């Protein structure tokens, strides 16, 4: 396959063209074509890091690294790099010839001169392992539709092996429903929808507190990241037996999936070192969940129904991240036991919207002194987790997160935003 054909397809997707599964299948006529698409659009790692690319460019421009780095955009830097190929012509290379180029050892100019600008956009996106213009989920869904295969089946194992099976033996794809029978195919992890409401979901739900650290999946004697990439420093450390997927952070067991499809209410007891689980039906549980969500040792909280079972690539519940409920307010008034916090109303007016117990922080008295002796036009910003907000925008329940001395008045939440948040949370 000529690389320019793949680059033209990338350009269409980048520009937002609606490409159907049949069109995609027509462009990727052979199995090798599809596998090259996968290699360039979903690489397992970056071949050239941003810093390495900047170093190549700064050396040729004879400028300091920081000067060149500051000239580049924070996002889509691949697009900026590709612009250096605007006067180059295509060398009509095959996809394999491009993959074989020693990019790591080439100078920036050497890379730029090998491709025209359209080709260079895909090359640099691939080299930097930047987010592709089509998700892996969407790609496999479109290809499944083109082969008349249920997308659900294909999405259970979104890798090169499944892609090859679609061309070689599409009928065999259906056996992937029994994921535990295929040790060479990593079953797709469950998906989680964001939970944005300020109240818990109804029903028999559990809150699973995910601690900080890398989330790994143990299966078939290998340890992988969520995207299926092997954890290179974990060879020989797989803790899962045959037909079992173990989800783990460090030595803490998060969840376990087996062919028996045991519900979460039962499988949550499967670990010697178990993740923290809070039944939401317990009194005061929601407040406890939000306290843990905003703890420094927590990366997220999942909300999962007790009857939930595992099916590859299916939605198993909800997830909350710490930033979901955090707002920044002005320290408006203090007394011995409480702090009154205010939101911004317009450009420079403040309205009290919360009263929290005096936080036990160090150094508390320095902050109080700063508040009582402010500089001209100075404000003291406090960040809180707004657990419960009324329709009037008042925070009925909040958790102190910290003092934000490096932020200014423009970072304070508007009263109208709090009112909108309270009203939306009051609706089903």
Predicted local distance difference test score (pLDDT) of residue 197? 80
Indicate the burial class of 232 (C-beta count within 10 angstroms; 0-12, 13-18, 19 or more): exposed
Predicted local distance difference test score (pLDDT) of residue 376? 47
Per-residue pLDDT tens over the stretch 262-281: 999 998 888 767 789 999 99
Contact 140, 151 (CB under 8 A): yes
Task: Return d(Cα 385, Cα 372) in angstroms, integer.
Answer: 24
Contact 53, 127 (CB under 8 A): yes
For tokens 């659009």, the residue is 41
Task: Return d(Cα 142, Cα 150) in angstroms, integer.
Answer: 10
Three-class SS state of 98: helix
**Structure tokens, 356:** 């929290």
Task: Return d(Cα 62, Cα 297) in angstroms, integer.
Answer: 44
Ranges of residues in the chain with a pLDDT under 50 are: 363, 365, 376, 428
Q: How many residues does the chain have?
A: 428
Predicted local distance difference test score (pLDDT) of residue 428? 47
Rg, C-alpha atoms of the chain:
26
Predicted local distance difference test score (pLDDT) of residue 213? 93
Domain boundaries defined on the chain: 3-128, 136-177, 191-320, 324-425
Q: What DSSP string describes 361-379?
A: -TTHHHHHHHHHSPPTT--
CB atoms within 10 A of CB 358: 14
CB atoms within 10 A of CB 19: 16
Task: Return d(Cα 400, Cα 339) in angstroms, integer.
Answer: 10
Predicted local distance difference test score (pLDDT) of residue 358? 86
Q: Give domain 191-320's CATH number out of 3.40.50.1100, 3.40.50.1220, 3.40.50.2000, 3.30.470.30.
A: 3.30.470.30
Superfamily assignment of 324-425 in CATH? Nucleic acid-binding proteins (2.40.50.140)
**Structure tokens, 48:** 């050239």
Predicted local distance difference test score (pLDDT) of residue 378? 67
Task: Return d(Cα 394, Cα 366) in angstroms, integer.
Answer: 28
Per-residue pLDDT tens over the stretch 287-320: 899 889 988 899 999 999 999 999 888 899 999 9
Is there a common fold for 191-320 and 324-425?
A: no
For tokens 């295929």, the residue is 182
- Provide the edge-to-edge strand list for the sheet that holds 349-357: 349-357, 338-345, 326-334, 381-389, 395-403
- Whole-model pTM? 0.64
Predicted local distance difference test score (pLDDT) of residue 270? 82
For tokens 């304070």, the residue is 412
Task: Return d(Cα 281, Cα 201) in angstroms, integer.
Answer: 10
Predicted local distance difference test score (pLDDT) of residue 101? 96
Predicted local distance difference test score (pLDDT) of residue 80? 93
């Amino acid at each position: 396959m000529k690389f320019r054909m793949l680059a033209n397809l990338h350009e269409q997707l980048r520009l937002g063209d609606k490409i159907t599964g049949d069109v995609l299948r027509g462009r990727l006529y052979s199995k090798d074509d599809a596998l090259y698409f996968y290699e360039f659009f979903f690489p397992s790692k970056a071949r050239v890091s941003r810093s390495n690319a900047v170093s190549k460019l700064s050396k040729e421009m004879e400028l300091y690294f920081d000067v060149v780095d500051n000239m580049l955009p924070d996002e889509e830097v691949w697009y900026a790099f590709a612009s250096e190929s605007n006067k180059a012509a295509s060398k009509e290379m095959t996809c394999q010839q491009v993959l074989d180029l020693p990019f790591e050892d080439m100078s920036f100019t050497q890379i730029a001169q090998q491709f025209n600008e359209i080709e260079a956009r895909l090359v640099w996106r691939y080299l930097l392992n930047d987010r592709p213009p089509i998700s892996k989920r969407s790609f496999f869904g479109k290809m499944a539709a083109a082969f008349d295969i249920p997308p659900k089946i294909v999405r259970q194992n979104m890798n090169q092996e499944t892609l090859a099976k679609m061309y070689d033996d599409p009928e065999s794809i259906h056996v992937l429903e029994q994921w535990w029978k295929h040790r060479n195919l990593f079953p797709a992890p469950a998906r989680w929808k964001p939970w944005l409401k300020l109240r818990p979901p109804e029903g028999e739900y559990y809150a699973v507190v995910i601690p900080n650290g890398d989330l790994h999946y143990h299966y078939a004697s290998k340890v992988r990241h969520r995207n299926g990439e092997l954890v290179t420093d974990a060879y020989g450390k797989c803790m899962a037996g045959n037909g079992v997927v173990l989800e783990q952070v460090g030595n803490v067991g998060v969840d376990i999936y087996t062919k028996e499809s045991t519900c979460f209410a039962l499988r949550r007891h499967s670990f010697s070192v178990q993740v923290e689980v809070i039944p939401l039906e317990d009194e005061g549980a929601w407040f406890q969940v939000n306290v843990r969500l905003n703890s420094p040792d927590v990366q997220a909280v999942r909300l999962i129904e007790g009857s939930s079972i595992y099916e590859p690539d299916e939605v198993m519940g909800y997830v909350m991240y710490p930033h979901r409920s955090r707002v920044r307010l002005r320290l408006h008034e203090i007394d011995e036991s409480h702090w009154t916090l205010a939101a911004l109303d317009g450009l420079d007016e403040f309205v009290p919207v919360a009263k929290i117990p005096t936080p036990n922080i160090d150094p508390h008295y320095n902050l109080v002194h700063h508040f009582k002796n402010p500089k001209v036009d100075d404000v003291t910003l406090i960040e809180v987790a707004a657990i419960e907000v009324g329709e009037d925008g008042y925070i009925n329940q909040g958790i102190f997160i910290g003092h934000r001395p490096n932020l200014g008045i423009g970072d304070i939440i508007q009263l109208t935003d709090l009112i909108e948040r309270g009203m939306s949370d009051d609706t089903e």
